[in-house]
Structure 1
Amino acid sequence: MNNNKIYASPLTFPIYQTSSYAAPEGEKYRYSREYNPTVENLGLEIRDLEEAEDYNVFSSGMGAITTTLLALSKPGDRILTHLDTFARSYHFIRDFLGKWGIQADISNPGTENIIRGIRKDTRIVFVESMTNPILRVNDIRAISEKCREVGAILIVDSTVPTPYNLKSVKLGADIVVHSGSKFISGHNNVISGLIAGRKDLIEKIDAMRRTMGTSLDPNSAFLTENGMKTLGIRMEKINSNAMKIARILEDNPGISKIIYPGLPDHPDHEVAGECMKGYSGIVCFKIKTDPEKFTANLKKIVPANTMGGTETIISIPVTMSHRSLNADELGTLGVDSSYMRLSVGIEDPEEIIRDITNALNQ
């Protein structure tokens, strides 16, 4: 029998790679689908970043959204969202929840349209603080005031700006949602979802998460939390790069339109300046050339169906993230095959500008 004991104080929170725990050690840790220390450590980080009362952690961003909405809604409720939200969120609210007797109201883009769509019997309002893919910046404070008037719960997906650039809970959101796979983890190596907000609501969502099994595994929690350590440094560089790229591409003759909240002609430039620390890392633009040839001519920028990593990535929403929207819906958003979504990384911005310019010239 070895009586030697190993004492260690790890600088990095360890991975608790276990399915269960020895009993009776306490009421909390029984089974890792319910609670796991590595996952809990990640949750405490997002709670503190958002300056919220409580947290929960999920197997994906969509797992966080679907579990939250299922926990807080019931047949007969009315949920409002907007057309320019992420396509899968939009379809889950309109199509899936609609099958269960929940009324979905869909507003057009913009804070004024969202506020106008909130009725006296609206139960939940689900918005994105910065929308994907048309980059409208919603006034969370104004929307939250309207929600309080009617007693609606405000859920904000803040994946694009991250808590570094915008703190939705401080602006009045009841629950803030993040896809941890994007800017928060920042290295394109993990799928995870996070929420933070009111304790009374989180308790209901936590019970639903344990029942549905949308729990995060400890390895993914470790990777997400490890990436989160550099969130501030990465977002500072990404914010700076995106602003420089947007400004220079404005003058490119091969581009017909630039969409970025940091530019003065953006419809939400003023509200973004008031509520955001930085304008985040997504720059959208319309090109005058064939989109397939353009992406094929890129040498450094990678075409992919994601965003938020350290490397710059480009996507075409009509064939990737928003391929499920019909022609009328895409037309309302102003999104067509020429519409590019650039997720800016931490490289030298001159290299990104040069790559785009060369691809357009070819």
Structure 2
Amino acid sequence: MPSLTLFARLALLCTGATLAACAPFGARPAFDGAAPAADDAYLAGRNHHLARRYDEARAAYQAALQMAPAHVNARNGLATLYAEQREFATAIALWRALTESLTMSSGPGKAYLFSNLGQAHFLNAEYDDALVALEKACLLDPLNHRSWQLLGETLRKLGQEERAQQMLSQADALRAHDLRADYAAAGSQSQVAAIDRALKAPAREEAGWSQVQLLVGADGMLELRRAPPPAGPSAPARLPEPAPAPATPGRDAPLLALVEMRNGNGVSGMARSLARQVGTGGLKVTRLSNQKGFGVRQTRIEYEAAYREGAERLASRFGSAQLQEVPSCAPANVRVVLGRDVAHRGFALRPAAAVGDAAAPVLALNKAH
């Protein structure tokens, strides 16, 4: 079987990692040996959670934990519930307790707990803490594209653009290639040494995280290697630069912002339809969502301060949309909240002006909603 490379020759796809509004992120239905009654309570909580009955979900998770305080799924579900309601401090405390005893021998099955902890820190703008948790998630499960995506986005927030691009490229490649299936098809004889070692590594003695290094081989593959902490700072390992993607008509504009489309008027399918029109001119839609209650009267465009240009260009296509600067639109950079002012069939965006066109109309309102 030919050796696989983890670098896809594709343009960067910053799909973002989202806190799912309809289901717990990272939730897994596997049980941890707790009493059947606790498992039943957890399942009831999960079903309530999926149906957005949050009070009932919280009560069921807490009931499970009263019967089995160490029930991992119930604790993870409860933490997820708090995070979705932006009670990040409470969620982070729960995930910290879930991860504090994990080590490299815990295996990939526990990596999602670090990934969830890292995402909660990210959404709470605690990027240094997010970085630590996400690096551990990638160490435990180096084949999980979601953790690499989150790690790349965190590095970008910390201003480490070069490293961010490397991690995002890693995530892209893992999405493009089912390396686990390739490994199985090869009869456990993968030609990719680093992946082979990561999947087949036997349990070892407990060791501190500081003794584990994530290194990049000459072939661009990732390796987990144990070594003493370095005596002094050293140059970070560098990934080989991926080959540039061939130019594609309509997709060669520089990326201005990642966009979330939120349906705030209740017109079925409108966010998805407009998302197809928005994804041009340097803007990329990475998430669709619904506004609770669908009671938004006028369309507004929320944006992080660094992405005002992209927000203004998008506002010019709606005509009457309000611009509103917000502290965070994570996991996107700009959020379009569709209002009833556009809730009529046949509504379409104005054509996108070319990036850099100084004559493009700009709407610079910043009214309170």
Q: TM-score, normalised by structure 1?
A: 0.29
Q: Which has the higher contact order (CA 8 A, sep 6+)?
A: 1
Larger Rg: 1 or 2? Answer: 2
More helix by share: 2
